[in-house]
Amino acid sequence: MQDKIRQIVAEAREALEKADNTAALEALRVQFQGKKGSLTQLLRGMGQLSPEERPQMGALINAARESIGAMIDERRGALRAAEREMQLARETIDVTEPRPFPKTGTMHPLYKVQDEMIDVFTGMGFDVAEGPEVELDTFNFELLNLPKNHPARDAQDTFYIEDNMVLRTHTSPVQARTMQTRKPPFRIVCPGRVYRADEVDATHSPVFHQMEGLAIDRDVSMCDLKGTLDAFVKSVFGEDMQTRFRPSFFPFTEPSAEVDMSCMACHGKGCRVCKGTGWIEVLGCGMVNPKVLDMNGIDSNVYSGFAFGIGLERIAMLKYGVNDMRLFYEGDTRFLEQFR
Ligand code: DAH
């Protein structure tokens, strides 16, 4: 029986050395130490021994059991460490490996133009002012010399919210608000969304953007207006651009003018873009109507001023050669990514 025990221990040692993973090791543990294992079988066979031999044999079997247990534990420790090594090697991440760049958003062309224009005007001493998009009829029309039933109101297809409340049809109401809250001299530009009940097409949208300008001081003249807007056109479209001022009409300015710049497509020679004239219309402007100054609490005997209104979509279309305004609103990334 002693030989048998020694043989089992030797077998176990040999088998354990060959076990190369923890699963195989567990199978061996069952084989040698489990309920049906070889040592357990020997213990069962002890009934045939004499009472003197039994304790001696029992002690031997238990010692064998313990030594096999110790070998298993040792082997398990070694295998676990090796398996962990392998797992770490397999899951190593190479943090230096190059990868494709993630897609990032881009500045929207309209706001790019808006920012550039703000830069130009703040460079000439203008502040940025803002006003509400839901506006009182009073500010949107009345205080700009557009009384109720004035024919010029029809030119702007207004969205009414209530009798005396509209979605602003232009950024000009910020003029009235600023005149009422600030003491001259001041110069402001007001960028923002405006609304008109227009059908959508390549050059119309019920929501679009304008930038209003207003400068009030003593002795402001048409010269200041022309110099300011000429500098604006040259900054945004290039130093070689020319401007010309054509007489026009707006109720809030007197005199009023429309500004053309030389066609950026043909540099004034005449082409399809400018319909052969060499000129492109860019904005409306004028000297603030003295009536408007007085209605808004500024003494027209002391102060004068100029104002202008610029359509942002128009400037962006001309600057980037975009021929359909809808592209600005559709959010197609193939279009937008070109302004990166
Ligand atoms: N408010 C005008 C419009 O929406 C644009 C405009 C023209 C604004 C002349 C002005 C101005 O301040 O002086 O058509």
Tell me the pLDDT tens digit for each residue of 215-270: 999 999 999 999 999 999 999 999 999 999 999 999 999 999 999 999 988 888 99
Grouping H, G, I as helix, E, B as strand and the rest as coil, residue 119 is helix
Task: Quote the percentage of the chain above a pLDDT of 70.
Answer: 100
Instruction: Tell whether the model's pLDDT for residue 111 goes beyond 90.
Output: yes
Ligand 1 closest atom vs CA 306 = 13
Measuring from atom 6 of ligand 1, which residue has the nearest CA? 309
Distance in angstroms (rounded) separating the CA atoms of residues 220 and 185: 10
227/24: higher pLDDT: 227
* 190: enclosing H helix or E strand: strand 186-195
Measuring from atom 3 of ligand 1, which residue has the nearest CA? 170
Average pLDDT, the chain: 92
pTM higher than 0.85 = no
Q: What is the pLDDT of residue 309?
A: 98
User: Each residue of 119-173: pLDDT tens digit?
Assistant: 999 999 999 999 999 999 999 999 999 998 888 777 678 999 998 999 999 999 9
Find the 235 Cα to ligand 1 centroid distance in Å: 21
Instruction: Tell whether the model's pLDDT for residue 61 goes beyond 90.
Output: no
Query: Residues 88-97: what's their mean pLDDT?
Result: 91
Find the 118 Cα to ligand 1 centroid distance in Å: 17
Find the 142 Cα to ligand 1 centroid distance in Å: 15
Q: What is the pLDDT of residue 2?
A: 81
Find the 324 Cα to ligand 1 centroid distance in Å: 23
Q: What is the pLDDT of residue 241?
A: 94
Pairing state between β 165-167 and 160-162: antiparallel
Q: What is the pLDDT of residue 35?
A: 82
Q: What angle do CA 137, 140, 142 make, to 5 degrees?
A: 65
Mutate to test the pocket of ligand 1, among 292, 308, 315 (most ligand atoms within 8 A of CB): 308
How would residue 55 be classed by pLDDT, with cut points 50, 70 and 90?
confident
Find the 195 Cα to ligand 1 centroid distance in Å: 14
Query: Residues 16-25: what's their mean pLDDT?
Result: 87
Measuring from atom 5 of ligand 1, which residue has the nearest CA? 309
Find the 284 Cα to ligand 1 centroid distance in Å: 5
Ligand 1 closest atom vs CA 169 = 4
Find the 274 Cα to ligand 1 centroid distance in Å: 22
Q: What is the pLDDT of residue 209?
A: 97
Buried-exposed string 103-138: b where 16+ CB fall within 10 A, e elsewhere: eeeeeebbeebbeebbebbeeeebeebebeeebbbe
Ligand 1-lining residues (CB < 6 angstroms)? 170, 172, 212, 250, 253, 284-286, 307-309
Chain Cα centroid distance, residue 104: 8
Cα-Cα end-to-end distance for the chain: 88
Q: What is the pLDDT of residue 42?
A: 79
Closest C-alpha to 171, from 118, 204, 209, 228: 209
Mutate to test the pocket of ligand 1, among 225, 252, 259 (most ligand atoms within 8 A of CB): 252
Ligand 1 closest atom vs CA 286 = 13
Buried-exposed string 48-74: b where 16+ CB fall within 10 A, e elsewhere: eeeeeeeeebeeebeebbeebeebbee
User: Each residue of 174-214: pLDDT tens digit?
Assistant: 999 999 999 999 999 999 999 999 999 999 999 999 999 99
Q: Note whether 310 and 189 are within 8 A (CB).
A: no
Q: What is the pLDDT of residue 171?
A: 98
Find the 130 Cα to ligand 1 centroid distance in Å: 16
Q: What is the pLDDT of residue 1?
A: 78
Ligand 1 closest atom vs CA 214 = 12
Measuring from atom 4 of ligand 1, which residue has the nearest CA? 170
Instruction: Tell whether the model's pLDDT for residue 290 goes beyond 80.
Output: yes
Q: What is the pLDDT of residue 151?
A: 80
Find the 258 Cα to ligand 1 centroid distance in Å: 10
Instruction: Tell whether the model's pLDDT for residue 4 goes beyond 90.
Output: no
Q: What is the pLDDT of residue 243?
A: 96
Ligand 1 closest atom vs CA 213 = 12
